[in-house]
């Protein structure tokens, strides 16, 4: 098979690394980087560390408003697809790159496979929610990380072409944990279990000064050092606020994936608005405080290892200072071998469709 894979943001690089490793052993893949994340610390270092070959195509779209960015991607991806005429277009997650790739393929009648299908926050004010809903409804193969995701699709009338594969980020984390770069801790002069790790990047937080100020105020009250790798969007927003961090907060540049795994694994608590980090915290056994009002990864909350606090400073501080959970961590989102299941689902789609079990 000939596959075109669309990526544009660092969580997608992590997911693509797991699947590409399997896919390229059996098929041809053209990797297209939209350029949505173009900072070297957000992009190139991930390809190097994860062992992904350099992108075959870099569209270099960069930052823009949602409409302008998605439109630019759509036009450029269409050109690639017309040249390649792939059997499948593979998209990941819920970014503008995901939406543009899915729409470009669907309009050219090229089959779309969506990795991480079926996730819902039930908050349509989130751009990511719109992206994932539209992508799911134009996809032919929906590769779901959990039964909850399958149930969400069924409520929307999507029952054909749905496969439970687990979460490919578990595959990537399983491999990365063996190679985690602990020199990051030494460089920062921090000790295992003696700091909080924070990340903020979602537009609902960075583009709303009131929410961002609330989050920063909550982080500033923590009684332990806070290591805060700052996303470029967040850095611009913090500068616009004129906010100065207290001494125990260290705002650093984004780190590579292996360094980030080391920071996550050794943290006392993780505070984040990232969906991927919520899962990684759970798999690593580190308590998570989610800086949002809802989450797609509801199972981590139900298990007691993830607490939703929004942007309220008092709730942030209270959750971060909670004792470590004593509740068990049942296996969630697969066993670390989701990539193999994703590739097998692509390979068997035509066979299963002929048998009548998958309909377009």
Q: How far apart are the first and last CA of the chain?
A: 19
Q: Which residues contact 67 (CB under 8 A, 6 or more apart)?
A: none
Please tell me the distance from the alpha carbon of residue 160 to that of residue 209, in angstroms, as a whole number.
42
CB count, 10 Å around CB of 331?
Answer: 10
Please identify which of the residues 37, 114, 201, 231 carries the catalytic annotation.
Answer: 201
CB–CB of 136/106 below 8 Å?
A: no
Q: Which residues, in sequence order, are bridge partners of residue 271?
A: 198, 289
CB–CB of 12/96 below 8 Å?
A: no
Question: Strand order in 306-308's β-sheet?
Answer: 249-252, 226-229, 196-199, 269-272, 288-290, 306-308
Question: Is 109 tagged catalytic?
Answer: no
Q: Which residues contact 345 (CB under 8 A, 6 or more apart)?
A: 113, 141, 143, 163, 165
Catalytic residues: 201
């Amino acid at each position: 098979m000939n596959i075109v894979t669309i990526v544009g943001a660092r969580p997608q690089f992590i997911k693509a690394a797991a699947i590409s490793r399997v896919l390229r052993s059996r098929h041809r893949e053209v990797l297209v980087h939209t350029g949505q994340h173009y900072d070297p610390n957000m992009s190139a270092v991930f390809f190097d560390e994860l062992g992904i070959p350099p992108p075959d195509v870099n569209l270099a779209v960069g930052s823009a408003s949602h409409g302008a960015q998605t439109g630019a991607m759509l036009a450029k991806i269409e050109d690639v697809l017309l040249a390649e005429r792939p059997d499948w277009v593979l998209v990941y997650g819920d970014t503008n790159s995901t939406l543009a790739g899915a729409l470009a393929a669907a309009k050219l009648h090229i089959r779309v496979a969506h990795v991480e299908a079926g996730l819902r926050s039930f908050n349509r004010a989130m751009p990511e929610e719109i992206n994932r809903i539209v992508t799911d409804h134009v996809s032919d193969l929906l590769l779901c990380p959990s039964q909850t995701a399958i149930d969400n699709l069924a409520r929307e009338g999507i029952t054909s072409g749905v496969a439970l594969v687990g979460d490919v980020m578990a595959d990537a984390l399983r491999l990365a944990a063996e190679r985690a770069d602990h020199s990051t801790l030494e460089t920062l002069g921090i000790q295992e279990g003696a700091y909080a790790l924070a990340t903020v990047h979602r537009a609902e937080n960075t583009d709303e000064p009131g929410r961002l100020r609330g989050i920063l105020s909550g982080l500033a009250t923590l009684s332990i050092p806070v290591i805060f790798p700052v996303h470029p969007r967040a850095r611009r927003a913090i500068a616009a606020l004129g906010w100065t961090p207290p001494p125990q907060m260290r705002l650093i540049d984004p780190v590579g994936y292996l360094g980030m795994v080391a920071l996550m694994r050794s943290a006392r608590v993780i505070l984040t608005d990232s969906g991927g980090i919520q899962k990684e915290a759970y798999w690593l056994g580190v308590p998570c405080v989610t800086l949002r009002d809802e989450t797609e990864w509801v199972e981590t909350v139900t298990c007691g290892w993830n607490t939703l606090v929004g942007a309220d400073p008092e709730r942030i501080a209270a959750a971060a200072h909670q004792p470590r959970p004593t509740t068990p961590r049942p296996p969630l989102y697969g066993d670390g071998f989701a990539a193999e299941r994703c590739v097998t689902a692509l390979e068997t789609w035509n066979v299963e469709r002929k048998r009548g079990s998958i309909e377009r």
